[in-house]
Structure 1
Amino acid sequence: MELQELRIFLVLAEERHFGRTASRLLLSQSRVSQAIRSLERKLDGRLFERTSRSVHLTAFGEVVRDDVGQAYAALVEALQRSKHRASSVVGTVQLGIYNNSLNAGPQMTAVVRAFTAAHPSCAVHFVDVGSVPDPLALLRSGQVDLYTARLPLDQPDLTIGPVLVRQRRVLLVAATDPLAGRESIDYDEIGERPVGTLGPTQPPEFAEAFIPSVTGTGRRVQRTVGNLGTAVEINMQVALGQLVHPTVEGWTEHHYHPDVVAVPIRDLPPSETALCWLTAVNNPRTSAFVEQAVAVLAQSDSHR
């Protein structure tokens, strides 16, 4: 059923005259008549009683007018709101991404495409924060609008949005390590192998969840001296047997090293990432991007 047909019907119901209806809608009278006949066929009912002198709604037509009129008005209002929202979303979304698609998730490309299609006057600029000691500082200073943060994140000034990806936990070990041949392990099985420490600027709730200081049996893990470096540095240290590193599945695909093996960890919960932004900043670009992300991710979930 076409919206134009409904519009013609509602105006004719108000004007009760084909000529005035055609003039008001800038259409020919024949187009008005054609639209009404088409609508009557689709609804399987007569909408108007026509004579040479007058046009009146039938009882069925009055019911349709009352029902369709409210729905049509609501639809027009919604479309106007969407149009206004789209026209107000201009400029560039600064999106902070850490560690490539490990944090952004497999649907980020689809999210960006949907956003730019809905808001062609707004671009998306990716900001690689992998070498930044404190990525949240970029968010708080306004250098990025959104950040693909790894959870948990319990910061009172930040809003956590839709989850982007959920990943199993793995332990990176040297290819020569006895654990490298295992199908999976418990976190406690790292034994005396040292693990690294995330930098001091990382939120403590995230740091503890990502590299727990205590195993399931209550044993404290051994820590290396100094903080973890880049992915290249971590891989080299793991390959040389200087440390083991709890991370997420996909690491070895994104940061391949022939002497590093990822072994699934059974007793650590999956790690999630999500979009986050400053609660106090009312930015139409941010709201529109998050809205598209929610829609795309929901569609993706429905097809799993």
Structure 2
Amino acid sequence: MTGLDMRELECLLVLGEELHFGRTAERLYLSQGRVSQLLRSLERRIGARLFERTSRRVRPTPLGERLLAELRPAYEAMQEAVAGARAAARGVEGVLRVGFLSGSAHECVIDAVEAFRRSHPGSDVTLVEIPLSDPFGALRAGEVDAAILLLPIDEPDLVVGPAFSKERQNIALSARHPFARRASVRVEELARCRLLDITGPAPAYWREISAPTVTPDGRPIPRGPAVRTMQEALAVIAADRGGMLFCTPTSHHHARNDIVFVPVEGLPDSSLALVWHRDAETERLRAFTRTIGEL
């Protein structure tokens, strides 16, 4: 058999599903006469009837049934191959490595990852935890393609995407702290708390997000012990040696019996953003950024 005609095969497969010339024609945007013509042409190539046709019904012959069963997997595989090639040509196919701080990969982020996977077959997202003490290091070292980080961020070599996930801020305190039974605390009352210091390469302005040094009115906030990781911070907080500011989803993520999360009145909501290196932007990254922006 030579001169294989994909249109004939497509007509055969659709007719095998619909068992109706009119519906087959509608799906293929053809006339019923053209559908009949394509089927007759294929039957001539095969050398036998593939469908029995009467005025009341259409059904495949035994040979037609066999051909349909053998063609469907191959046809679906070809469609997947073409879809994969199209995605690769657009530069979307492949794995995107996205860094996150402990607790920041919450429901909104997971929803974005799943939506991206559905919209871009052949693409995937790998979530990689990055250290609290060095939020930008993995980006600059090329260990991740982007990172989900708290705002504000002011780094000349980094691009900050649209803000998302605006959330109330809470102070994490030991269950033994005097404020532990409070429904909320005022921002100026942070001057009566010790906030943990974050050591490492993170710039001072970024460390202020979780551990400000002064209240909005300029009252100094005492410093607690220095920590480098989220797990260190939680252990020190539970021991009643200091506190730290958390957004609400992160508070829920790190819920435990020996730590309470008390809402802070007077602080602006926290926000997240997808951040990437200025020299590392790709179509895959742009597609994921659009997905996050649509949620």
**DSSP-derived class of the 1:197 partner:** strand
| Residues matched between the structures, number | 221
Is the CA contact 1:139–1:278 (under 8 Å) kept in the aligned structure 2? yes
Q: Following TM superposition, by how much is the alpha carbon of 1:264 offset from its aligned partner in structure 2, in angstroms?
A: 0.7
Q: Following TM superposition, by how much is the alpha carbon of 1:161 offset from its aligned partner in structure 2, in angstroms?
A: 1.0
Q: Determine the structure 2 residue equivalent to 1:117.
A: 118
Is the alpha carbon distance of 1:162 and 1:105 closer, same or farther for their aligned partners in structure 2, counting shifts above 3 Å?
farther
Residue of 90, 94, 107 corresponding to 2:93: 90
Q: Following TM superposition, by how much is the alpha carbon of 1:127 offset from its aligned partner in structure 2, in angstroms?
A: 1.1
Deviation sequence 1:196-231 (CA, Å, 0-9, x none): 112231133222233221113321111124x22433
Q: Determine the structure 2 residue equivalent to 1:209.
A: 209
Q: Residue 264 of structure 2 aligns to which amino acid in structure 1?
A: I
Deviation sequence 1:115-143 (CA, Å, 0-9, x none): 2222212222111214x742312111221
Once residues 252 and 27 of structure 1 are traced to their aligned partners in structure 2, the CA distance between those partners, rounded to angstroms, is 58
Once residues 173 and 119 of structure 2 are traced to their aligned partners in structure 1, the CA distance between those partners, rounded to angstroms, is 45
Q: Residue 128 of structure 1 aligns to which amino acid in structure 2?
A: E
Is the alpha carbon distance of 1:259 and 1:118 closer, same or farther for their aligned partners in structure 2, counting shifts above 3 Å?
closer
Q: Residue 124 of structure 1 aligns to which amino acid in structure 2?
A: V
Is the CA contact 1:235–1:257 (under 8 Å) kept in the aligned structure 2? no
Q: Give the unaligned 5+ runs of structure 2.
A: 1-27, 36-85
Is the CA contact 2:197–2:227 (under 8 Å) kept in the aligned structure 1? yes
The residue correspondences of 1:1-304 to structure 2 (distance < 5 A) are: 27-28=30-31, 30=33, 87-99=90-102, 102-130=103-131, 133-225=133-225, 227-295=226-294, 297=295
Q: Give the unaligned 5+ runs of structure 1.
A: 1-24, 33-82, 298-304
Between Structure 1 and Structure 2, which shows a larger proportion of strand residues?
2
Q: Residue 97 of structure 2 aligns to which amino acid in structure 1?
A: Q
Once residues 282 and 200 of structure 1 are traced to their aligned partners in structure 2, the CA distance between those partners, rounded to angstroms, is 27
Is the CA contact 1:86–1:118 (under 8 Å) kept in the aligned structure 2? no
Q: Following TM superposition, by how much is the alpha carbon of 1:289 offset from its aligned partner in structure 2, in angstroms?
A: 1.2
Give the alignment's TM-score, normalised by structure 1: 0.64
Is the alpha carbon distance of 1:84 and 1:194 closer, same or farther for their aligned partners in structure 2, counting shifts above 3 Å?
closer
**DSSP-derived class of the 1:189 partner:** helix
Once residues 179 and 188 of structure 1 are traced to their aligned partners in structure 2, the CA distance between those partners, rounded to angstroms, is 13
Q: Following TM superposition, by how much is the alpha carbon of 1:167 offset from its aligned partner in structure 2, in angstroms?
A: 1.6
Q: Following TM superposition, by how much is the alpha carbon of 1:192 offset from its aligned partner in structure 2, in angstroms?
A: 4.2
Identity, in percent, stands at 31
**DSSP-derived class of the 1:156 partner:** coil
Is the CA contact 1:193–1:222 (under 8 Å) kept in the aligned structure 2? yes
Is the alpha carbon distance of 1:251 and 1:112 closer, same or farther for their aligned partners in structure 2, counting shifts above 3 Å?
closer
**DSSP-derived class of the 1:178 partner:** coil
Is the alpha carbon distance of 1:141 and 1:238 closer, same or farther for their aligned partners in structure 2, counting shifts above 3 Å?
closer
Is the alpha carbon distance of 1:270 and 1:288 closer, same or farther for their aligned partners in structure 2, counting shifts above 3 Å?
same
Give the alignment's TM-score, normalised by structure 2: 0.66
**DSSP-derived class of the 2:197 partner:** coil
User: How large is the RMSD of aligned CA atoms in angstroms?
Assistant: 2.9
Q: Determine the structure 1 residue equivalent to 2:23.
A: none
Once residues 84 and 191 of structure 1 are traced to their aligned partners in structure 2, the CA distance between those partners, rounded to angstroms, is 54
Once residues 165 and 143 of structure 2 are traced to their aligned partners in structure 1, the CA distance between those partners, rounded to angstroms, is 24
Q: Following TM superposition, by how much is the alpha carbon of 1:235 offset from its aligned partner in structure 2, in angstroms?
A: 2.7
Is the CA contact 1:224–1:243 (under 8 Å) kept in the aligned structure 2? yes
Q: Following TM superposition, by how much is the alpha carbon of 1:84 offset from its aligned partner in structure 2, in angstroms?
A: 6.5
Could you list the runs of 4 or more consecutive aligned residues of structure 1 that deviate by over 4 angstroms after TM superposition? 25-32, 83-87
Is the alpha carbon distance of 1:121 and 1:86 closer, same or farther for their aligned partners in structure 2, counting shifts above 3 Å?
farther
Is the alpha carbon distance of 1:294 and 1:252 closer, same or farther for their aligned partners in structure 2, counting shifts above 3 Å?
closer
Q: Residue 222 of structure 2 aligns to which amino acid in structure 1?
A: Q
Is the CA contact 1:98–1:128 (under 8 Å) kept in the aligned structure 2? yes
